[in-house]
Amino acid sequence: MRPTRSALHAALAALALAGCVTRDLEADGTFDALVDAGPVIIPLGEAGDAGGGPLDDYYRSIVAQLQESVVERNPDRVDALLATHDRTVAPDWAADAMASFRRLSAVLRSEAWCEEHAEIVMRSAPPALGEAVPLALRIPPGGAAGVSFPGLGERIAPARFSIGVRFVDRDCRGSRSESGAQDLLALAATVELAAVGLDLPFDVPAIPPSGCERELVVTCELLPGARLLDGEAVPGQRSLLASARFALHPRGIERVHAAPLATLRAAIASRDPRHFDHVWLASRAMPAADRLAADEALIGALRLGPPDLAVVAAACLREASGAPIAPSDRDGWLAWWHARRRVETADAPRAERR
């Protein structure tokens, strides 16, 4: 089921035009104000007009337990209470309230199904860094029978989903830039979850990168609002459905991944700033078996290369080793390397003796 609009595209395009790449997470903008749907309203029948006899008092306590179970989002307890206490002896007001709780339990089960099974997936092969990212929220068929998410054209507001995106960009010097946006999507047509599930496609538009690799973090929430149970409106609650992370790289990254050590050595040998991204990406993709050889090549670049290449090499070493040495501290990295080699040399005879 497609969303009714592509406001996410417009919102993120505005982000790109504004140049809102920031390290301050608190500065991220929300591009559409989220609708406050208010608390879940639990129908309690006419309990206020009930009598004061023992039976009414008893069912007041049952209704209170049912209400507590709904607030705790525990449909199993709701159903257990109903199975035990929904009897013909119940006062009319209590019978009406329990019928409402039975409907709420069905909606809770469907929302729980969504929380457990929803996933955010890529609709095609991973795009290149800087291109639009085709995604979809997918939920397989399941949940309580008869529960639907309303779409446009119903007498109630359509089901709405909050989509949050965060970009984490890294450049060849190890710098990190973060930005984000949030938007709402609505269903165009009603979907019966148990029968057909949900497929909600959306695109994260092309945002110019501030580095050579990007982690895209996407979250999706189902917002509070009415659901439909056999055509009748039933209150629904906010549900965190899914979160996913996607790694995005420049076009041609598969060649780097196929031969990271050879790529690293060739990029270092070129000393060309246009290939500094290759140095970083190859180092990041380096298998453990080649890590020592890669670090030797990076130390060579740091020792003998031009200053700008030396900073890139040091950033790669810091990323791979976790050593708390600034990329600009050439002497610190050379001392780190000499200390590491001394330890490795000292350990070698012990390994041979074993």
Would residue 2 count as lying in a domain?
A: no
pLDDT 10s digits, 90-112: 999 999 999 999 999 999 999 99
Residue 321 falls inside a structural domain:
yes
Range(s) of the domain holding residue 294: 253-353
Report d(CA 271, CA 138) in Å as an integer: 46
Q: Considering its fold, how many domains does the chain have in total? A: 3
Is pLDDT at 142 greater than 60 in this prediction?
Answer: yes
Helices 291-304 and 307-321: crossing angle in degrees, nearest 10, is 150
Per-residue b or e along 316-340, where b marks 16 or more CB atoms closer than 10 Å to that residue's CB? bbbeeeeeebebeebeebeebbeee
Is 47's pLDDT higher than 50?
no
What percent of the chain is modeled with pLDDT above 90?
A: 79
Lowest mean pLDDT among 25-29, 34-38, 46-50, 122-126: 25-29
- Residue 12, both tokens: 């993120």
- Domain of 220: which CATH number? 2.60.40
Residue 185 to residue 159: CA distance in whole angstroms: 8
Whether residue 304 is found in the same domain as residue 222: no
Whether residue 181 has pLDDT greater than 80: yes
Average of per-residue pLDDT across 36-54: 53
Q: Are residues 128 and 56 in the same domain?
A: no
- CA dist 148 and 234 (Å) reads 10
| 223 shares its domain with 315 | no
Q: Is residue 137 part of a domain?
A: yes
pLDDT, average across residues 319-343:
94
> Residue 344: what pLDDT?
76
> 215 and 171 in one domain?
yes
Q: Which residues contact 193 (CB under 8 A, 6 or more apart)?
A: 110, 113, 114, 139, 141, 142, 143, 147, 148, 149
pTM recorded for the entire structure: 0.79
